Amino acid sequence: MPGKVAKIGNFSDWVGLFNEWRKEVGVDKDDVEAFHFDTLYGAIETEEIQFGSYKGRNKWENLRQVPTQQMRDALMNMIVYQGDTEFASVEQQRNLFATAPTEYDRRAITRVMIEEMRHGWQMCALLIDFFGSSGKVEAQKMLERRAFENKRLLGTFNVDVDNWLDFFTYTDFVDRDGKFQLQMLKYSAFAPLGRSTSYMLREEAFHMGTGHDGLRRVVEAGVIPPWLLQKYLNKWISSSFDLFGTDHSSSAHWAYVWGIKGRYDELRNDKAADLDDLNDYSRHLYRQEVGGLVEKLNTFLKPGEKKFYTPDIHFNRNIGRWAGKNYHCETGEPLDDSSYGQHCQENLPGLKDKELLLDIIRNEKKWIKEKEGARDPLSTIAEPRKSAINI
């Protein structure tokens, strides 16, 4: 893998590299190894471009129909970044199989990993089938980067997810950013990308549900202190804000003008797009949705316990206009340099917090509530495929 120079001639060559990657990162467990990976396409709302300068024209079925090289490059870049996050998440979570709190959770994370791998597979299929030699190179590079070597393209996807509270919070909120990105790409004027993300969205729903229900079970169990869980909410939600990209993004501007990537609420939004504010618009929609989820968790707290809150959108930012600036986690008020370091220690998980959490997980058998009336996650993984186009 890293350091190998074998070239990809066709998709079957890449599949060999994919199988090697699975083994090397240590996720080729029995259920994963037995799964048959496919390239799958779902439905799109219309064959016409729905926004931007080309609105009303037929969507493009191949790269020759895309009007300019600049647009083709932008498309490929979006596919590369999306695929990179899928493989990265598997690498981030690769060590959690052995510590699953229940058999249900072990099989749930197996399904999550299988579907994340298939999403990466799908993006690489697009690159190889439609983008020529450049696409083949990018598909190979996707399997050569490693999250645990800090080589994935986005910082959030180089952070270890090394305990189950991390996993539940990550899948509830980072995967929810993934839902937003996939929904925006679903409207793409490049039809194969829209059909790919349409199907991926079905699979993403299970990941988010696994995360949110896991957090609900943790809160109901009442063993992990709410203040500690709040720190993990702050960690992953603030990191997810960054995933929407920079403010005043020219890339987002032109992607919309060209019809490559729409707004999350494109089909429901009859207002003209603010081309200078597309990323921040999506970021605020995401925060509204997340706020509702956090409020749901509050309903499972014991009487008298402090309510969970959604961290302010300015806090702990590393991308955009608020990057590197000091703001209060809950209120969003500016803080001076002398107090901000202590504030971060009080609101983000540190080494002592992690030690406490791991001690609870190791020694408190009921730190998470049992899953009620659960179907085996792996028994339903293939059901939606009946309506997919398998090529």
pLDDT of residue 364 exceeding 60, the answer is: yes
Mean pLDDT across the chain: 94
pLDDT of residue 332 exceeding 90, the answer is: yes
Record the tokens describing residue 13, joined without a space: 């060559």
Q: What is the greatest pairwise CA distance in the chain?
A: 63
**Cα 293–chain centre separation:** 17
Q: Please tell me the predicted confidence (pLDDT) of residue 3.
A: 46
Q: What percent of the chain stands above pLDDT 70? A: 96
3-state SS assignment for residue 327: strand
Confidence band for 6, pLDDT divided at 50, 70 and 90: low
Q: Please tell me the predicted confidence (pLDDT) of residue 382.
A: 55
pTM of the model: 0.94
User: Rounded to an integer, what distance in angstroms lies between the CA atom of residue 231 and that of residue 165?
Assistant: 11
Q: Please tell me the predicted confidence (pLDDT) of residue 2.
A: 47
User: Rounded to an integer, what distance in angstroms lies between the CA atom of residue 174 and that of residue 172?
Assistant: 6
User: Rounded to an integer, what distance in angstroms lies between the CA atom of residue 3 and that of residue 281?
Assistant: 41
**For 58-68, how does the pLDDT look when each residue is reduced to its tens digit (9 = 90+)?**
999 999 999 99
pLDDT of residue 1 exceeding 50, the answer is: no
State the alpha helices, DSSP H only, in the chain. Answer: 11-25, 30-34, 69-92, 103-130, 132-142, 164-186, 191-221, 226-242, 250-257, 278-298, 337-347, 351-363
pLDDT of residue 360 exceeding 90, the answer is: yes
Check if the beta carbon of residue 169 is closer than 8 Å to that of residue 214.
no
**For 67-78, how does the pLDDT look when each residue is reduced to its tens digit (9 = 90+)?**
999 999 999 999
CB atoms within 10 A of CB 5: 5
User: Rounded to an integer, what distance in angstroms lies between the CA atom of residue 222 and that of residue 17?
Assistant: 44
Q: Which of 320, 126, 102, 89 is nearest to 207 (CA)?
A: 89
Q: Which of 14, 3, 319 is nearest to 145 (CA)?
A: 3
3-state SS assignment for residue 389: strand
**Structural domains of the chain in order of their starting residue, each with its CATH number:** 14-46+69-267+275-368 (1.10.620.20)
**For 16-67, how does the pLDDT look when each residue is reduced to its tens digit (9 = 90+)?**
999 999 999 999 988 998 999 999 999 998 999 999 999 999 999 999 999 9
Q: Please tell me the predicted confidence (pLDDT) of residue 387.
A: 36
User: Rounded to an integer, what distance in angstroms lies between the CA atom of residue 139 and that of residue 116?
Assistant: 15
Q: Which of 383, 377, 387 is nearest to 113 (CA)?
A: 377
Q: What percent of the chain stands above pLDDT 90? A: 90
**For 247-290, how does the pLDDT look when each residue is reduced to its tens digit (9 = 90+)?**
999 999 999 999 999 999 999 999 999 999 999 999 999 999 99
Q: Please tell me the predicted confidence (pLDDT) of residue 10.
A: 84
User: Rounded to an integer, what distance in angstroms lies between the CA atom of residue 220 and that of residue 301?
Assistant: 7
Burial class (CB in 10 A: 0-12, 13-18, 19+), 154: middle
pLDDT of residue 148 exceeding 80, the answer is: yes
User: Rounded to an integer, what distance in angstroms lies between the CA atom of residue 113 and that of residue 219?
Assistant: 24
> What are the distances in angstroms from CA 214 to CA 148, 163, 179, 252, 348?
25, 13, 18, 34, 20
**For 154-173, how does the pLDDT look when each residue is reduced to its tens digit (9 = 90+)?**
999 999 999 999 999 999 99
- Residue 48 phi, psi (nearest 5): -100, 145
Q: What is the mean pLDDT of residues 80-104?
A: 97
